Amino acid sequence: MTENQERSSRHTGAVFAATGSFIPSLTIPNEAFLTSLFFNTDGTPVEKEPQKIIDKFKEITGIAERRYGTNNQKASDLGFLSATAALSSSGIDKEKLDYIIVAHNFGDMAYGSNRTDMVPTLASRIKHKLQIQNPDCVAYDLPFGCPGWLEGVIQANYFIRSGDARYCMVIGTEMLSRVIDPHDRDSMLYSDGSGAVIMAAGTNNATEEGIIAHKTQTHALDHALLLKMGRTYAPHPENDENIYLKMKGRKLYEFALTQVPLVVRSVLDKAKLHIRDIAKVLIHQANEKMDLAILERLFKLYNEESIPQYLMPMTISTLGNNSVATIPILLDFILKGKIKNHQINRGDKAIFASVGAGMNINALVYQF
């Protein structure tokens, strides 16, 4: 019997063996934007008073502050730090990692420039920083919008289920502070951070721990350009040839409210579960109002009006939206007791879901 056959015979799907995260040190409160000059898409100034802009932003998004990396940090640095945290808490030898999958969207960008640098891949850079010698540890990047980390988890699960891997590290790392237009109100949404998990082959037992079902969709025909790169909103930028992250907020909001609950419902149906069987909903931290509305729509699909308290933990109020990093950070915080009134017990079933550029949506049901 070959080594891979032995792995396949002994193990089922993948389980979360360890988690780690890195939260940058620079706290940027909403008040930091009081002196910002915001413009509309047509280049006309936003007429509202700065404090009213910020108050309305807080009301909609739930964000009071966010974190930025320091000037000497890049996305791969944050990814390395979250990977180190996951390895430290796992007791797993780094040389035994079979895959390092790094979800991101903009590569490494130096402070003061938003030129993306993705050669070599961030995964190879992180593997280098970890000083892993094993050439059989395959490192690759996964640019898939905000759902990138979750898609990496789905891929890692298949590597492990096939017997091709025993340990996979999946990292989500982003420095959105380097791609924001300072003259766009949406710039207040974005932040920096990184989260990582180590997935391991689960032993055959009666607990069925691991991924029960999953689904991914790409709605590119009509919705691909809801998130894209574009020029600054400032009417007469001086020597600004950069492009920045741009969002059609209202249309994206409507798209997410329509499509995400349907994808989650389809995953629950595939798993032969009801929404009432779910102990936690870990959703991409994009916008508090939107996430709450998605949950409400999901419960209405089951004709359920009452949503259990403490079902959906959130970090967006203090960490902002750091894209692919939001869910792994959220998971790490819960498992390490860093979110009040939220814990996960053995046997609990959780939904993971994300939506983002592409427009991509994915969801999975996981049993702890």
Residue 67, phi then psi, degrees to nearest 5:
-115, 140
Would you say the CATH fold of 210-367 matches that of 3-28+67-203?
Answer: yes
- CB 307, CB 296: distance < 8 Å: yes
Tokens of 245: 């992250």
**DSSP for 298-334?**
HHHHTT--PPPTTSS---HHHH-B-GGGHHHHHHHHH
Two structure tokens written together for 308: 């259990």
Q: Give the amino acid at 365.
A: V
Give the pLDDT of the chain (368 residues) as one tens digit per residue.
344 444 443 446 899 999 999 999 999 999 999 999 999 999 999 989 999 999 999 999 999 999 999 999 999 999 999 999 999 999 999 999 999 999 999 999 999 888 899 999 999 999 999 999 999 999 999 999 999 999 999 999 999 999 999 999 999 999 999 999 999 999 999 999 999 999 999 865 555 789 999 999 999 999 999 999 999 998 876 667 889 999 999 999 999 999 999 999 999 999 999 999 999 999 999 999 999 999 999 999 999 989 999 999 999 999 999 999 999 999 999 999 999 999 999 999 999 999 999 999 999 999 99
CA–CA distance, 280 with 84 (Å, rounded to integer): 27
Tell me the β-bridge partners of 83: none
CATH code for the domain defined by 210-367? 3.40.47.10
Tally of residues, the chain:
368
Using alpha carbons, list the distances in angstroms from residue 233 to 38, 181, 201, 237: 8, 7, 49, 9
Is the backbone peptide bond immediately before 120 cis, with ω within 30 degrees of 0?
A: yes
Architecture of the domain defined by 3-28+67-203:
3-Layer(aba) Sandwich (3.40)
Task: Locate the domains of the chain by residue range.
Answer: 3-28+67-203, 210-367
